Chains A and B, each alone.
Chain A
Amino acid sequence: MNIILKSFKQAFSFYKLYFLVWFLSLLAAWPLFSAIQNALAGNLGMTNVPGEWLQNFNLGYLFEIAVNQPSLAWMTTQGVRATAIVFVLVAVLTSAGTFGIFRELSKGPVDGRFLANFLRLSGTFFGRFFRIGLWVVTCVLLALLPLMAGSIGAIIAVPLVSFILINADVTRIRVVENGEKGMTRHFFTTMPFVLRNLGVFIGYYLVSVVTIALGLGLYRLLDNFITPASVSLIFLMVMIQQSLILFRSTMRIQIISMATMLYDKRKPLPVPEEPVIQLPTNDSTLPNPA
């Protein structure tokens, strides 16, 4: 419990970090948003469509523009692709910086400027975190396969995905702690530790997940309540939306802070020089925690 309170306190008081994460997400999404905004304003700005859309959205106009200007549809597709790549890069950068910062914080006060430290740590761990991310995506996709059998598959998929995400976080903590290479080994050798402590980890993570869900629920409530049919209401809605993003960024930081503390409390003895490599085969590494 102490860890939870401490991590919430740490995350929510670390305004430099969460504003940075929020700012990076805004920056990453901005080019596509602004391209679409400009394209629509260019096509529809002088017409009555914006006025009508303030009252009611009509998909028909978008379709007409797409048909009459195929280049616009092409541009959007390319924009979505480019944004996807940028998102992955920004996600890795943020993750590496944040995990790095918390590792250093746990060892004592950090010298130097925050932004410089963040960027230094991002740079140091970028490649390794990227590779961990690839493992996560692969494993999550595999873990979602049971859903093909219908919603009943969630009984297997949800615990599996939770396990993979927690395992990935713990792997990241170990990587920034030891500064080692060999991500595949790290990713899989972390599993026994996570499995041993799975109950504890899931319990702690659940608190964060519930908090996120409450935030999202509150947003949905406000969203249903407010119809942004005027400039001031649109402004209000944007404030609410961006607050949610800020909150969500802070919660990711809270999870990282919490996971770091939890790991320190539960971690096994330091990894020996020549670890006994027990590289399990892929299939048996995805045990059913249920």
Chain B
Amino acid sequence: MIERVFLLFWTLTCPILAQVLFEKPLSPRIANYDLKAVLLPDAKAIDGSWTLRWQNRSETPVTELQFHLYLNAFKNEKSTFLTESGGRHRAGTYEKGEINWGYVDIRRINIVGGEDLTDKIEYIHPDDDNADDQTVIRIPLSKPVEPGAEIELSCEFYSKLPRAYARTGFGDDDFYFIGQWFPKIGVWQNNNWNCHQFHSNSEFFADFGVYTMELTVPKRFVVGANAVLQNKTSTDSTDTYFYRQEDVIDAVWTAYPDYTEIKQEVNIRGTNHKIEVTYLLAPDREALKERYFLAVDSMFNYYQEWFGSYPYSNLTIVDPPVGSEMTVGGMEYPTLITTGGFFSSKMATELLGLNWLEVVTFHEFAHNYFQSLVATNEFEEPWLDEGFTSYAEHRALERFCGETTGYGNVLGMPFSSLDYHRMSYIPNPRGGTMPTKAWEIPTNFYQTAAYSKPVLVLTTLERLLGTTMMNQVMRTYFENWHFGHPRTEDFIAVVNQVAGRDLSWFFNQYVYGDQTIDLHAGSIINTNFIPDEGWFGDGSEMQFSGGNKEEGSDSTIYRAKVRVYNDGTGTFPTDIVIHFANGDSTVKQWDGSSGLIVYEFHNTPKVTSVAIDPLRKNLLDLNFSNNTRNVEAQSAGISRYTLRFLFWLEYVLQFVMSLF
């Protein structure tokens, strides 16, 4: 009771003018947090607390609560995160040493105005048998939360931040990127808690709610968060920032003395929606301002056109300092993304020829659609999260950077995002299937299952349905499921509904299954066709026939055989175009079933070439280079490059000659 009175007092005196952002809730506001954090730079830690109001929107009473304690992934070498990843993340690994480990310690948790639950905390490990993993807890309740009821909890916690090597923690020079830092309630779904352990490849699944953050830091820091700044107060030594965000699934923030803050206002064309973009740029990145502005303005408009409207009025883009781009760069949170750091710089762009700034920015922002708004379960179906995001990124790159140069002109060679994803898929197409729990996907197949194959599958679907219908599919999917938790079958239902036909054959083979396709043009055999000669028919119908011309004449008649194969295991309906010597061509529809098919032509001009899938609709084809076949060999296009290679070899030898 005393706490209640205190709370009332606090609310009245609180300096937040708790301005509401949206007149009507946009989402089911199930999990609502008021977070407070004091950054302790010497201890590399946060002294934190929250009040959580959680609603039971199901039909069944809830008798226990489950929470993620994400930071405990970095508590010791026995956590599931560390054992699964070997402590590796991208190019980096964790560092040993006392200061480098992280954890979250719940000091007290109680029902507001009621029972203290601290002693009831119990670690559980629903995904594996790792008794040492402490990233999920359960707390049994003496009194269940009834359907439709709300429970209000209060918690004090101490978050020791790890040295950032995987997405959250502290870096050199007072750099902090603080994600997954507070005890976070799971998702009550189908009469069960969906609250997975923190795995190295997946971390996001949460309910929507209203978040307020009161962040206190020493004065030297520049602060940013995934929320709207509503107020700031100061003492002699500290600043306190008051943030609020509504209808999101997470709260994240960053503090670093050397950020340069830049603002951009983006107008969504054709609407009166304006978004304020805040850039927090590491030193020397200001030079990228114009490039960012152009890319970000385009990306907002593309996604609006293809998927639907970004409902918030703010986005924060954090470009981390050198050294931290590999650890916390390229990450996604609702209304806040981190980008490519050094690899986006002018120097790196010129050196590598990669459009890294655009690749990362388009990707991370697309997560605001696929994961933050369409809040899929990254633990259980990572492809709905990373795959849809990568598809959006691919489309944005294709439009912004050119069809063949989405990723750049790497060493002078055009390199598209589809090239990149095919290079991931082709060497190992059957390493697993896409809708698989993240931690059950083999490590060497994760990139393919979660990112690359989904891009190829969705782009193939786009080419199968046509871009207009695909846009309709994506818009409907977004419209139906933003602020919800769809699963693979929900997406498929949208596709079937919009397309007006059943596409299970496609999804069963390439989404749920691991079927492969390798369409392959085999031999073309033209044989001089000599018809029987003489008079045929009776009476007035009688006609003289035969007498073929000499071989090589334009009007020589041939009997031609064209062989095409599918060396894969799946089927995919495909067009085959056959060209003749007289300039004619014919299109055959092939069901693309596995094995060999032979097309025979009698009484025709010579067949000169065959092309399977000439419009390249099927991006899952394991080998495009064998899709065409000509009767005559060509080599100029090869020699052009091999002769250049010869030249460079000789040039290298000249260089060696000056050494020896």
Contact = CB atoms under 8 A, between A and B. Distances in A.
A235 to B, nearest CB: 9
B422 A88 contact: no
A140 B659 contact: yes
A237 B647 CA distance: 10
A219 to B, nearest CB: 9
A63 B426 contact: yes
Interface in A95-133: 95, 129-130, 132-133
Interface in A212-231: 228-231
Contacts, number: 163
Contacts of A129: 660
Contact of B633 (A41, A92, A241): A41
Interface string B641-658: 111111101111110111
B636 A37 contact: no
B650 A59 contact: no
Contacts of A83: 649
B635 A45 contact: yes
B646 A30 contact: yes
Nearest to A245: B650
B569 to A, nearest CB: 16
Interface stretch (A49-57, A261-269, A277-285): A49-57
Contact of A252 (B419, B427, B658): B658
Contacts of A49: 625, 628, 637-638
B625 A45 contact: no
Given A29-B650, A88-B656, A53 B637 contact: yes
Nearest to A83: B649
Interface in B397-451: 404, 410, 413-415, 419, 422-423, 426-427
Nearest to B646: A33
A57 B657 contact: no
Contacts of A25: 650, 653-654, 657
Interface in B600-640: 609, 611, 622-631, 633-640
A15 interface: no
Given A33-B646, A45-B633, A234-B643, A65 B656 contact: no
A29 B646 contact: yes
Interface string A231-248: 100100110011011001
Contact of A44 (B625, B652, B654, B657): B625
A40 B634 contact: no
Given A28-B653, A57-B414, A48 B609 contact: yes
A74 to B, nearest CB: 15
B630 A37 contact: no
A230 B636 contact: yes
A234 B639 contact: yes
A3 interface: no
Contacts of A56: 404, 414
B481 to A, nearest CB: 34
Nearest to A86: B653
A67 interface: yes
B628 A58 contact: no
Contacts of A195: none
A52 B630 CA distance: 13
A158 interface: no
Contact of B634 (A30, A50, A133, A228): A50
A187 to B, nearest CB: 13
Contacts of B652: 87
B344 to A, nearest CB: 19
Nearest to A29: B649
B643 A44 contact: no
A48 B628 contact: yes
Contacts of B427: 67
Interface in B49-100: none
Interface in A13-62: 21, 25-26, 28-30, 32-33, 36-37, 40-41, 43-54, 56-61
Nearest to B427: A67
A91 interface: yes
Nearest to B422: A60
A21 B629 CA distance: 42
A27 to B, nearest CB: 10
Nearest to B412: A57
A53 B633 contact: no
Contacts of A238: 643, 647
A90 interface: yes
B654 A47 contact: no
B654 A245 contact: yes
A170 to B, nearest CB: 14
Nearest to B423: A63
B637 A50 contact: yes
Contact of A36 (B609, B642, B654): B642
Given A53-B638, A67-B426, A249-B654, 15 more contacts: A33-B646, A47-B625, A50-B636, A54-B637, A54-B640, A58-B404, A58-B414, A63-B422, A63-B426, A64-B625, A94-B657, A130-B660, A231-B636, A237-B643, A252-B654
Q: Which 5 A-B pairs have the closest CB atoms?
A: A50-B637, A53-B637, A133-B660, A29-B649, A48-B628
8 contacts: A37-B639, A43-B625, A47-B628, A59-B415, A59-B419, A129-B660, A238-B647, A248-B654
Interface of B: 404, 410, 413-415, 419, 422-423, 426-427, 521, 609, 611, 622-631, 633-647, 649-654, 656-660
